Structure 1
Amino acid sequence: MKSSIASAIQRFRPGIAPTLVVLVLLPLMVGLGFWQLSRGHEKQLMVDSYAERRAAEPVGSAQLDSMADPAFRRVHLRGQFDGEHSVLLDNRMRNGKAGVELLQPFHDQASGLWLLLNRGWLPWPDRRAPPVFSTPEQPVNLDAWVYVAPGETFQLHADPATTHWPRLLTALHPATLWAELGRSGFAYELRAEAGPGTYDTTWPIVAMGPEKHLAYAVQWFAMTLALLSLYLYLGWHNAKEKHHGSGHESTQHV
């Protein structure tokens, strides 16, 4: 048995180039598969946490700073928007339509805390004209929830020539806005629930759901299996070709 296995191994001749390709690609593809599984697990925990916290009663904004993990916490607010310092987040798609998200500073009367409130998505079909929105002048009551991005957001700096308000950006850190305005504010964005002064607030929890990460992991593992199968096939095929060629040469020599 051992001799037959040793003999089979000796006859396995995949070639140098295929072996180098497999040595490089195989660990990479397996690693990508497990990375997708890990990302899917993280996204599932995020979705579960969101569902649990969205079912809880809203807290007051004064409690936010004392929370170790405020992500997805519902908050009840009463206060006023600062319509003079509006930020429009560009390249936000909804149902195949281009649009922007409207963010404005919000001063909560109960706690005196400044918050960066996302009032929702609004369409922007014609980029030759600025997006149209209005801001309530009177204090409003509304509920919102804390949005904590799953990763570090890439920040594009505004062109100094276009620093007028409203500001059009692709991303915004709340701390950047508070520093520019000289205010002490909450560190995370809040996303409004449907209420007075809001637009489209059907927020997706994550851009890519955990099921897609699982599907990508299956694809990487399938490609790994296909690569390994091809490598084994080439090894045995080359060995048979060489064996047949050697047998033919021996017959001719006799």
Structure 2
Amino acid sequence: MKTSIASAMKQFRPGIAPTLVVLILLPLMVGLGFWQLSRGHEKQVLLDTYAERRASAPMSSEQLNGSMDPAFRRVRLRGQFDAEHSVLLDNRMRDGKAGVELLQPFHDQASGLWLWLNRGWLPWPDRRAAPAFTTPEQPVNLDAWVYVAPGETFQLHADPAGAPWPRLLTALHPAALWAELGRSGFAYELRAEAGPGTYETTWPVVAMGPEKHQAYAVQWFAMALALLALYVYLGRHNTKEKPHESGHESTQHV
């Protein structure tokens, strides 16, 4: 057995450089493949939870405020918008069109709770002019659901605090905005369902679905397999060349 292993090792000489490359890249590729599978599983759980809770009857704002797990739960609201402190979330694309999402503080009459309510997406084709929107002045009845982001939004720079209103932001941080406004408000964004005062409210829950993560995982595993196959080929090819070179040198010496 030991003789067979030793013989096989003599027949496999890939070289130092290819070995170092494989030792570095192979674990990385396999790790990225399993990471993509894990992310796909997380997204699937998220979508399943969303579908289950979106199908349930809306709860009251008092029940929402006491919920330990509010993500994607529906809530029924009656109250009024604060038009003076509007937030426009920038870089929101829909069907290839640039736009923003409009969020405003909403004061619920039943619970007295302040919430950041996303009224929907509206186009912003010309950045030389501010996006146009109106705000209902009278109290409105709305159904909404709690949006909890699956991960922290990547930002190249932090959004400035203390900027004039309406404020153009790249991500919403409710706690920081409530502190700035001096209010005690709900910790998460709520996304309105179609109703009075709303704009485009067809919401994607995740930017990338589980099937894309699975496809990326397959690609990483395929590249790892190709790298390993190339490594084995080089090891055997180099072994075949070296005896040939040795024989050629011996003939020249004679």
Under a length normalisation based on structure 2, what TM-score does the superposition of the two structures give?
Answer: 0.95
- Whole-Å Cα distance in 2 between the matches of residues 2 and 159 of structure 1? 70
Matches for 1:46-195 after TM superposition, within 5 Å: 46-154=46-154, 156-158=158-160, 163-195=163-195
Q: Which residue of 1 aligns with 2:206?
A: 206
How many residue pairs are counted as aligned between the two chains? 252
Code of the residue aligned with 1:149 in structure 2: it is A
- Whole-Å Cα distance in 2 between the matches of residues 59 and 8 of structure 1? 69
Per-residue CA distance 1:129-175 (angstroms, 9 max, x = gap) = 00000000011111000000111235622265xx1110011112111
Q: Which runs of 5+ in 2 are unaligned?
A: none
Code of the residue aligned with 2:244 in structure 1: it is H
- Whole-Å Cα distance in 2 between the matches of residues 153 and 96 of structure 1? 21
Code of the residue aligned with 2:25 in structure 1: it is L
Matches for 1:24-35 after TM superposition, within 5 Å: 24-35=24-35
Using the aligned pairs only, state the percent identity.
83
**Partners of 2:106 and 2:117 within 8 A in 1:** yes
Code of the residue aligned with 1:54 in structure 2: it is R
In the TM superposition, residue 242 of structure 1 has moved relative to its aligned partner by 0.3
In the TM superposition, residue 220 of structure 1 has moved relative to its aligned partner by 0.3
- Whole-Å Cα distance in 2 between the matches of residues 77 and 154 of structure 1? 31
Code of the residue aligned with 2:150 in structure 1: it is P
**Partners of 2:159 and 2:170 within 8 A in 1:** no
Q: 1:70 to 1:159 in 2, by over 3 A?
A: closer
Q: Which residue of 2 aligns with 1:3?
A: 3
In the TM superposition, residue 177 of structure 1 has moved relative to its aligned partner by 1.2
Pair 1:14 & 2:14 matched: yes
Q: Which moved more, 1:190-199 or 1:61-70?
A: 61-70
How large is the Cα RMSD of the aligned pairs? 1.4
- Whole-Å Cα distance in 1 between the matches of residues 128 and 253 of structure 2? 84
- Whole-Å Cα distance in 2 between the matches of residues 108 and 157 of structure 1? 27
Code of the residue aligned with 1:15 in structure 2: it is G
In the TM superposition, residue 3 of structure 1 has moved relative to its aligned partner by 3.0
Report runs of 4+ in structure 1 exceeding 6 Å deviation: none
Pair 1:231 & 2:231 matched: yes
- Whole-Å Cα distance in 2 between the matches of residues 153 and 79 of structure 1? 29
Q: Which runs of 5+ in 1 are unaligned?
A: none
